[in-house]
Structure 1
Amino acid sequence: MEYSISADARLALDLALTVRHDGAGGVTDDLTDAPGLATWVRAHTDLLPGTADPAVDEAALTAVRDLRAAVRALFARSVSPDAPSPADAARLLPVPEALARLNEAAARTPTVPVLTWGPDAEPVVHHRSATGEDPLTATLARAALAFLASPERQRLRACHAPRCVRYFLKEHPRQEWCRPSCGNRARVARHHARHKRTAS
């Protein structure tokens, strides 16, 4: 049985995954500056309607990074009692603060529903800014709220393969790692640990 992933879950997860393993033993952040955020937003225009040419400044960057910290803290709570991502373990926001940040961000820009209906597609309702303000942070927060309040949240896991810091949604019941390469690393690490114990 394969599971599908909703747009809200994909957006919330992709925001959390802007913190990732750098391939050299450390953690990297895709949102270190405004151009990095603009690049990330452009890569997600299918999930963020009306953001093909995002106007991103330092204030928007700070707001999105603050929201991401809240989302990752709430992801850590969601996977509990399992361990959170190693990238978060030592610096998680307290849950009440994370909830306050998420709710505050979701309320920043009022939205209105807008119907789109392409020639060969089903009608889709999107929520657009009612005020003309930049709705980026509010849109991301609302996607995270929808995901965290949905049954889909039960599939959220932290990948505990060596050097991985990602969260992922189980796509099938037996999935243990975020990617096959993480599964390979975990199996190799277990093999080396067993070999080391028997050699001692």
Structure 2
Amino acid sequence: MQQDSTSKDSRIALGLALTVRHDGHGGVADDLADLAGLGAWLRAHPGTVPDTERYRADEPDLAAVRAVRAAARALFARAVRPGEPSPADAARLLPVPEALRCLNQAAARTPTVPVLDWADAGPVLRREPADDRADLAAALAHAVIGFLAGPDRPRLRACHAPRCVRYFLKEHPRQEWCKPSCGNRARVARHHERQKRTA
């Protein structure tokens, strides 16, 4: 993923979705299984909330973040249509109305106020939190909403390599998988399938 051409919201939203991944042994790993995992993810994604380095999540934060992630993954699966979601992921997705409700409720946890700046080119409107207490789930919900409503969403794809549960932004016309190892796994699976049919 090229960071210079991808928005901050897209990087955060995809980063959150990618905390569910293939574990390399035929199963699915969850990088947000506990508070230590959430802390590590936050350190790897500075700027997700103000003062990310000092932010300390608790169990309710972890539960709220995991709910936002479940909503994001369900809506990502909807966004890649007419393509299908990852076969390894399809059975655990929330229904779209429930995902929308969850995401919007999380986003509403941090009310924002309009702030007017005056640059050389004229007035610029931006939105800031109404209070300075960071709400991680709300910040992530805002990023997911920004991504899904933004210019990067049409490039969103689900990886269809065997057992992969990842989403990615398509960077070039021939890209079919999230990473080269998934392409290799898909080619090997197709080869084995052809061998079984000819045997």
Normalising by the smaller structure, the TM-score range is: 0.7 to 0.9
Give unmatched runs, 5+ long, in structure 2.
Answer: 117-124
Q: CA deviation at 1:126?
A: 8.3
1:80-95 matched pairs, under 5 angstroms:
80-95=81-96
Greater CA drift, 78-87 or 152-161: 78-87
Q: Structure 2: how far apart are the matches of 1:151 and 1:46?
A: 21
Q: Kindly state the Cα deviation for residue 86 of structure 1 after the two structures are TM-superposed.
A: 3.2
After superposition, the Cα gap between the structure-2 partners of 1:36 and 1:126, relative to the gap in structure 1 and judged at 3 Å, is farther
Aligned alpha-carbon RMSD (Å): 2.2
Match of 2:156 in 1: 156
Secondary structure in 2 matching 1:52: helix
Q: Deviations over 1:97-127 (max 9, x none)?
A: 1111111111111245789xxxxxxxxx986
Q: Secondary structure at the match of 1:59?
A: helix
Distance (whole Å) between structure 1 residues aligned to residue 148 and residue 111 of structure 2: 20
| Amino acid in the other structure paired with 2:175 | Q
Task: Tell me how far apart the structure 2 counterparts of residues 86 and 181 of structure 1 sit (CA, whole Å).
Answer: 17
TM-score (norm 2): 0.86
Contact 1:129 1:135 in 2 (8 A): no
Deviation at 1:161, TM superposition (A): 0.7
Amino acid at match of 2:192: H
Which residue in 2 is equivalent to 1:120? none
- Counterpart for residue 30 of structure 2: 29
Stretches of structure 1 lacking an aligned partner (at least 5 in a row):
116-124
Post-superposition CA distance 1:66-114 (Å, at most 9, x none): 1111000100101123221234311221111111111111111124578
Count of aligned residue pairs for this structure pair: 189
Instruction: Write out the 4+ residue segments of structure 1 that deviate beyond 6 Å after TM superposition.
Output: none
Q: 1:114 to 1:192 in 2, by over 3 A?
A: farther
CA distance in 1, matches of 2:82, 2:41: 31
**Paired position in structure 1 for 2:191:** 191
1:177 alignment partner AA? W
| CA distance 1:129–1:161, shift in 2 (3 Å) | same
Distance 1:35 1:127, change over 3 A: farther
TM-score (norm 1): 0.86
Instruction: Give the structure 2 partner of residue 10 of structure 1.
Output: 11
Please tell me whether residue 172 in structure 1 is matched to residue 175 in structure 2. no
User: Equivalent residues in 2 for 1:86-105 (5 A)?
Assistant: 86-105=87-106
1:167, distance to aligned residue in structure 2 (A): 0.7
